[in-house]
Amino acid sequence: MKKVFMKRLLRPICIIGFFLIATVTKSNAQSTKLINPILTGFYPDPSIVQVKNDYYLINSTFSYFPGIPVFHSRDLKNWKQIGNVINRTSQLDFMGERMTRGLFAPAIAYYNGTYYVTCTDIDHDGNFVVTAKNPAGPWSNPVRIPQVRGIDPSLFFDEDGKGFIVYNSDAPDNKPLYSGHRTIRMYEFDPVALKVIGEEKQLVNGGVDISKKPVWIEGPHIMKRNGWYYLYAAEGGTSVNHSEVVFRSKNVWGPFVPYENNPILTQRDLPADRKNPITSTGHAQFVDGPDGKTYAIFLAVRPYEGDFYNTGRETFIAPVEWKDQWPVINPDFKEVQYSYPVSIKEQKEKGTLPQSGNFSYTLTFEKELDPSLLFMRKPDSSAFSLSKEKGLSLKLKPETIMDFGSISFVGKRQQHLFNTIETKIDFVPADTNEIAGLTVFQSETNFYFVGKSIKYGKELVQLFKGIPGKKQMELLKEINLETKAPGLYLKIIAAGDTYGFHYSLDGKTWNLLKDKADAKFVSTKTAGGFVGCIYGMYATSSGKISDNTSSFIFLKYTGKDSTFKE
């Protein structure tokens, strides 16, 4: 009788205890929003790897240096740049290359205590692999893989430890049936010797359905889930027809069967006049989130009109649903969303610049450069210095941003359609060929440049515009400065399809140099190539030797787009 009484007494206590545990568990499963893009600005071709509770993400950088940024996160929302894969000039040489060449589509993988990055140096070294024990670096010198002929190599490690390298390559027998006809091929790969093994095998010819002449099957990845090998890749080219498609097989060597409902991600069929469009989606990679659900990291763009955008191809995220053991990206919506509510506890990264949403920051240059700052091709250590008093000092070099060499240039990505970039420059020009200031740079021919110079003994502020097809600049406007003084403040305001250029002598009272300059001129669509706009602190002596130096005291960035809402 006593035992029965105790059981009846314990039952409500157990129920109450269960309720309390469930309540606590529910409260711990905090909800947050993943804000798109997760990396704003020119961060294309994302690749991601999960190692325990840590996520590491990398992007293409083309001919900018340092190359291939490495980001860390624990929640897929907050990202901190912890290093760069190519951070020594001895690793790779981009000299003589256009800024849109260089490094294409890196991929990151992890196996048995080692991190691997495969990539394509499009003009010189071809496909290569680098390794590191710590994703923050240092990374090894590149090891070339000459047998892998094509672009976009990525590694897959199977459960038995075997490695494979999969990539985009030529049409069969180098005889394309149509423009854009490509294949996906694979070798077995030795992760210790860093060499291919055996013979190459073709996995996909053309794309999902070669009778429809699919173009540019590229950016391939392989993953294994529930006994299936999934081969997924971009298809349709990197512009508005971009998409992601998937195949599967019970054997890593195939045959791979395409999903009947391909593509699993695209925005090409949506109305062109929709509000705040996200377009050109593709080049995806899957990863399991902290909540155990699958997510896709992929590239997309935010045009302000048609296919015109200046922020470059950016890194986005969307949930993945498995339907009949097939992955479908963004299953609940036709349009990729600017935010997704998720049951993931947010873990902010300390000591890093913001990467998504609306934000502002000010960079000073006392001890070291932020890892997100970029040089053109190769930094010249003798041409720049940092100090508390002078900030970033750039020596005036003969090379200009129209040249293919090492330029006195340090840049930061444009990360919003609507933003302001501001700097203070201390500079006393000695001759008419000397000028230093800020540039909005898209390519060697498509750029704006506002700077301080001198003419007829008078200091002035000038605005230039590149001339496509010529190694020349067009002078748009110049204004004599009222007084001779070293200091000058410069500001560029981006407003979607226009830029405004301003100057000030005291940093308080601003004067308009030119308003509503055409932003389409420096869009990716107009300039061509694969990069986005970079705001550059830049100094040149325009072909002549000079001992003069300009100093940039700070760089202040503020970006605010209406699409970013928490």
Give residues with Cβ within 8 angstroms of 229, minimum separation 6. Answer: 222, 223, 248, 249, 250, 251, 252, 256
Q: Do both 79 and 116 map to the same domain?
A: yes
Q: How far is CA 339 from CA 45, 348, 357, in A?
A: 20, 17, 10
Strands 218-225 and 195-205: unpaired
CATH code assigned at 469? 2.60.120.200
Read off the tokens for 219.
Answer: 């950016």
- Is 29 domain-assigned? no
Neighbours of 401 (CB within 10 A): 22
Percent helix / strand / coil, the chain, rounded to 5:
10, 45, 45
Q: Do both 221 and 159 map to the same domain?
A: yes
Q: Do both 247 and 392 map to the same domain?
A: no
Nearest to 73 by CA among 303, 326, 356: 356
Give residues with Cβ within 8 angstroms of 536, minimum separation 6. Answer: 401, 409, 410, 411, 412, 438, 439, 441
Q: Is 170 a catalytic residue?
A: no
pLDDT at 307: 96
CB 541 within 8 A of CB 396: yes
Residue 397 domain boundaries:
359-559
Q: Do both 335 and 363 map to the same domain?
A: no
Q: Do both 390 and 523 map to the same domain?
A: yes
Q: Do both 107 and 175 map to the same domain?
A: yes
Domain count, the chain: 2
Active-site choice (45, 152, 188, 399): 45
- Is 5 domain-assigned? no
Neighbours of 390 (CB within 10 A): 16
Q: Do both 49 and 103 map to the same domain?
A: yes
CB 531 within 8 A of CB 100: yes
Q: Do both 255 and 302 map to the same domain?
A: yes
Q: Which of 342, 374, 401 is the last residue of a domain?
A: 342
Q: Which of 342, 368, 400 is the last residue of a domain?
A: 342
Among the residues of 68-153, which ranges form H helices?
none
Among the residues of 293-388, which ranges form H helices?
none
**pLDDT tens digit at each of 566 positions of the chain:** 334 333 443 344 333 333 333 333 333 457 899 999 999 999 999 999 999 999 999 999 999 999 999 999 999 999 999 999 999 999 999 999 999 999 999 999 999 999 999 999 999 999 999 999 999 999 999 999 999 999 999 999 999 999 999 999 999 999 999 999 999 999 999 999 999 999 999 999 999 999 999 999 999 999 999 999 999 999 999 999 999 999 999 999 999 999 999 999 999 999 999 999 999 999 999 999 999 999 999 999 999 999 999 999 999 999 999 999 999 999 999 999 999 999 999 999 988 999 999 999 999 999 899 999 999 999 999 999 999 999 999 999 999 999 999 999 999 999 999 999 999 999 999 999 999 999 999 999 999 999 999 999 999 999 999 999 999 999 999 999 988 888 999 999 999 999 999 999 999 999 999 999 999 999 999 999 999 999 999 999 999 999 999 999 999 999 999 887 65
- Is 236 domain-assigned? yes
Q: Do both 495 and 382 map to the same domain?
A: yes
Beta partners for residue 495, in sequence order? 418
- Is 431 domain-assigned? yes
CATH code assigned at 258? 2.115.10.20
- Is 10 domain-assigned? no
- Is 227 domain-assigned? yes
Q: Which of 311, 342, 373 is the last residue of a domain?
A: 342
Q: Is 45 a catalytic residue?
A: yes
- Is 182 domain-assigned? yes
Nearest to 346 by CA among 19, 42, 35: 35
Q: Report the C-alpha gap between 181 and 204 in whole angstroms.
A: 11
Q: Do both 384 and 297 map to the same domain?
A: no
Q: Do both 458 and 383 map to the same domain?
A: yes
Active-site choice (152, 218, 349, 434): 218
- Is 150 domain-assigned? yes
Strands 498-504 and 487-495: antiparallel
Q: Do both 275 and 407 map to the same domain?
A: no
Neighbours of 142 (CB within 10 A): 22
